[in-house]
Every structure is written in C-alpha cells, then in structure tokens.
Amino acid sequence: MTRVQIIIITLLSITACALILVLGYFTYRIYQSLATRPLGPALPFAGQTMPPLWTPTPGSESTPAGLVTLAPMVNDATNIPSAMCGGPDTINILVVGTDTRRDNYIYGLADAIRILRVDFVTPKVSILEFPRDLWVEIPHISDNLNGQNHEKLNQAYLYGQPGFRYWDNPSGGAGLLSLTLNLNFGAQIDHYIVVNMRTFVNIVNAVGGITVNIPDIEASNNTGLLIGDHDLDGEEALKVVRNRQGGTFERADNQNLVLCALREKLTKPKVITQIPGLIESFEDNVITDFTPEQFAQLACLGTKLPPQNIVFASFPVELFKQTREFDPVFDKRIYILDADFDIMRDYVMRFQNGSWPKPSIALPTATNEEETTVICQ
C-alpha cells in the first residue's frame, strides 16, 4: 500500500468517525427532545417546585388562581436517601376515569377521581379517592351558567372538555378538575392521566385479564360476584368498577379491588417486560401531560414497590351526609354529598405531606379513621 493510499484511508476513517459522532449526537438530541416532550398540555399551575413535606400556613388565604399558599416544614434529617429511577422525591398525580365508552374525550363525566402520591424515595404509592357527588365550587363556569358556580365534583371535568369548554385552557377537563380540587380541598396536583372506559377495557385485556379476589359477603353483595377468585377480562372488570349496587362508597371499594388486581398483574415478571410496549400502545389513547421519560420512571418504580407500600385511602364515611340540592341546570333537586370541607382539607394536607394514610388493614375498607386505608395483598 502506497503512502498516498494510507493517507487517504486515514482521512476517510477520520471523516467516517466524525460523521458517526455527529450523527450520534443529533440522534441523542432528537431522542432527548422526544423523551422529554409532554404528551399533552400542562396543568395551569404546573411547574411549582415544592420540597417533599409541606403544611398550610396558618391563616393563609387562597390566591386569585385558587391555589393554597404553602410553607415548607422543617426537616433536619441527614443522609436522606435519593429518589429512585431518576424521578423527583414525590409527585401528585390526578387520575380520572371518565364515563364515556367512545374512543374520544370530547365529553364525559369524571366517573372515578383519584389523587396518587408517588414517593420515589421510600418507595411508596398512596391513592386517595374523592367522591364524585360532592357539591363544590367550580371556577370559570359561572359566565356559562347564568352566575351559578357550584355543581357536582364530577362535572368539573365535563365542563372543561371540548364539548363544553367553559374555560379557555388547553388542559381542558383535567385542568379544570385540578383547579376545583385545589380551590375546595387544597390539593396540589403536578400531573394528570385521564382514561376513558374503552381504554380501561383495552388495558385490562392487554395484560391478559386480571384476577379479582372477593374476600367476604359484603364485597360479594357489592360486586355481584361470589366469594373467591374471579378471572375477569376488560369488559367484566369494567362492570365491577361501575357497579352501583352498594352505593357510592361501596363502588369506590369495588374500584380499589380491581386496581389491586391490576397492580398485581402488572408486577408479574412476564408483564413487567411488556410495560414499555404497553405504555407506547396507549400513549395516543389517554390524556396526560407526562413525558415518555416520566412514564419510564413510573414503570421503573413499579418494579421496586413492595405490595404493602401501595395504599388506598378513603375519607371517613361518617364525614359525609347524603342530601339534595336544587340545581338550576337540571331545574330540580339532585342527590349530592355534603361534608365539612375544612376537615377534608386537613386530610388532604396530611395525605400530601405523607403523614396519612398509614397501612393498617387489607381489603375491604371500614368507616373510622384508623380503618380507612387499604393495602393490596
């Protein structure tokens, strides 16, 4: 090989390496851009930076946006473990199940309302259920309802959706429901996930169905299933979560039964390997402001969660009173739940700072404070 040929090959090799590096750099930048791009509009008050532990400032007033003024709690702990899976210390996620069976999200009431507190340090996931029939103040709707600003909590989502669009914000129903929860109960929500009934059915079917355990006669009466294990497909699981036979609170228990069963299925070794594909498959079928990277963090955390660290919480049943309220929209008295919102705000504050709930029992739930938490077995 001549000297000239050696020089040419050397230059070509250097050029090829440079091109590979440049291509790799731009590929990485494109990947980073896609991985960190939210899949939907952010919440109207997203982007707040809060330490893991917070408590309301005594005597504080709500801001014009309806946000609660918060002050950090003092924490002298040293050598605090770092967050797992590259996530933040904690995040609060609004999860909404809508009552529409169609593949779109134009309309729909919030059929199930949960706030998830995800702790990447412990790790732990706490899930708080809000009754959908609470009579609440909903911001931004009075101009469309002749001055009326109160409706059921589940309608906050509906009024924010494109079918109604009672407020002009890209986050739609999830954003308006988040503002409503914040205004009435002090809930601080960082992200949201909205799933309609059709997508819920598809998710259950995608993991090969679930096995629901009916522990006692009360749960049997509420679900319509016999005591014992039942293998359910998506449609059958949907019937359980929507069963109203026992009432509002029993229906929430039914939903927790199914969520526990779904969690158990998602932690099976065979399904864990399918989680990234499942997430990708349903990205276009849910409404969320998460990024693919954040979904990957949640999936990673799911593989590290011990069952006892997944806790379902409900407000004490005796806190609520079933009554009726005249609703000008329907021009009649409608069924609602009444409650002392100051007490509920205290529960929400403790939920968000991680001091409540504490795991105490397995399914089903009961009626006093010590017995309002549920752990997945």
Q: Which domains does the chain have, with CATH numbers?
A: 36-73+82-375 (3.40.630.190)
Residues 6+ apart with CB under 8 A from 203: 195, 234, 262, 278, 282
Q: What is the 3-state secondary structure (H, E, C) of 276-317?
A: HHHHHHHHHHCEECCCHHHHHHHHHHHCCCCHHHEEEEECCH
Q: How far is CA 249 from the centre of its chain?
A: 19
Name the H helices within 95-210.
Answer: 153-160, 172-185, 197-206
What pLDDT, on the 0 to 100 scale, is given for residue 49?
A: 38
Residues 6+ apart with CB under 8 A from 228: 213, 214
Token pair, residue 163, equals 């079918």
What pLDDT, on the 0 to 100 scale, is given for residue 340?
A: 96
Residue 375, SS3 per DSSP? strand
Reported as half-sphere exposure (CB side, CA atoms, 13 A), residue 369 has a value of 9
What pLDDT, on the 0 to 100 scale, is given for residue 78?
A: 53
Token pair, residue 10, equals 């050397």
> Cα separation of 276 and 302, whole Å?
12
Beta partners for 288? 193
Q: What share of the chain is helix, strand, coil (3-state, %, to 5)?
A: 40, 20, 40
Tens digit of each residue's pLDDT, the chain (377 residues): 676 656 666 666 666 555 555 454 443 444 444 567 888 888 986 434 333 333 444 443 343 333 443 334 444 445 667 899 999 999 999 999 998 777 778 888 998 999 999 999 999 999 999 999 999 999 999 999 988 999 999 999 999 999 998 988 999 999 999 999 999 999 999 999 998 888 888 888 888 899 988 888 888 888 888 888 999 998 999 889 888 776 778 888 888 888 888 878 877 767 766 666 666 666 668 889 998 888 888 888 887 888 788 888 999 999 999 999 999 888 899 999 999 999 999 999 999 999 998 765 444 444 444 445 666 76
Q: What are phi and psi of 194, to 5 degrees?
A: -120, 130
Comparing CA positions, the residue from 225, 24, 32, 192 lying closest to residue 105 is: 192
pTM, 2 dp = 0.76
Reported as half-sphere exposure (CB side, CA atoms, 13 A), residue 17 has a value of 6
What angle do the packed helices 341-352 and 172-185 form, to 10 degrees?
A: 110
What angle do the packed helices 234-241 and 248-266 form, to 10 degrees?
A: 150
